[in-house]
């Protein structure tokens, strides 16, 4: 049961307040990142007593999307918001470039190498060197282009020998 005493009585229906609540929603697969850091919040619309949030899937089959939509809803409900709708939009197609600077930093500290810029075609076809998030060596190699989730590839550092995840650049 949610402790109803903690629910604010008068949630503010403006962009700043709603965004603040969304900043508390984590990516269920990468819990160090908020959905704001991931850059998957596309749009926030609100009226007097209703909120509509649009989110973008990272990958078409990303199983986290349903969980994220539910988490967004419950976080808003918890803060007293009413009439919440969360919808998924495809355009523009999510790109790893949408991950914030803070998000990249959090990823690296968590042990996941952040994506290279999609602007670089070389990165897209996996030519750019990926630095090891542990020892920062660039002597790394791809073990598999597909990793533990749809958005990650598996790498290995040839200096410190640690395997690590690389957030794929799309």
Partner 1 sequence: MNDNEILFEYLLRLGDNCAILGQRLAEWCGKAPVLEEELALMNVGLDLVGQARLLLDYAGKVEGAGRDEDQLAFFRDTQEWRNFLLIEQPNGDFAKTMARQMIFDCFQYLQFEALTASKDKTLSEIAAKSLKEITYHRRHSSNWVIRLGDGTDESHAKMQAAIDELWGFIPEMFDMDAVEDAMVAAGIGTDVSVLRARWDDMINSILTEATLQRPEDTWSVRGSREGKHSEHLGFLLAEMQFLPRAYPDAKW
- Taken in order 109, 113, 116, 118, the sign of the CA dihedral is negative
DSSP H or E run through 113: strand 112-113
Q: Which is nearer to partner 1, 12 or 154 (CB)?
A: 154
Min separation Cβ 164 and partner 1, Å? 14
Q: Which is nearer to partner 1, 17 or 88 (CB)?
A: 88
Q: Which of 143, 158, 159, 161 binds partner 1 (CB under 8 A)?
A: 143
- Token readout for 127 is 């030519």
**Residue 79: how many CB atoms within 10 A of its CB?**
17
What are the phi and psi torsion angles at 86 (to 5°)?
Answer: -115, 120
Residue 147 makes contact with partner 1 by CB under 8 A: yes
Q: In what order do the strands lie in the sheet with 84-88?
A: 41-47, 50-55, 84-88
| Contact mark string toward partner 1, 148..167, x via CB under 8 A | x-x---x-------------
Min separation Cβ 122 and partner 1, Å? 14
Task: Name residues contacting partner 1, limited to 20-59 (CB under 8 A).
Answer: 57, 59
Q: Which of 129, 144, 158, 159 binds partner 1 (CB under 8 A)?
A: 144
The 8-class DSSP code of residue 116 comes to P
């Amino acid at each position: 049961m949610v402790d109803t005493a903690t629910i604010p009585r008068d949630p503010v229906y403006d962009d700043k307040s709603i965004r603040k609540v969304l900043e508390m929603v984590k990516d269920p697969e990468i819990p160090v990142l908020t959905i704001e850091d991931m850059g998957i919040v596309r749009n926030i619309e609100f009226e007097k007593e209703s909120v509509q949030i649009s989110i973008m899937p990272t990958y078409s089959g990303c199983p986290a999307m349903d969980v994220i939509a539910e988490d967004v809803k419950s976080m808003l409900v918890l803060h007293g918001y009413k009439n919440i709708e969360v919808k998924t939009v495809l355009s523009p197609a999510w790109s790893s470039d949408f991950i914030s600077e803070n998000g990249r930093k959090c990823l690296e500290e968590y042990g996941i190498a952040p994506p290279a810029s999609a602007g670089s075609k070389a990165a897209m076809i996996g030519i750019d060197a990926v630095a090891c998030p542990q020892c920062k060596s660039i002597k790394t190699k791809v073990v598999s282009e597909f990793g533990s989730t749809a958005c990650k590839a598996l790498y290995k550092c040839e200096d410190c020998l640690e395997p690590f995840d690389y957030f794929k650049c799309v």
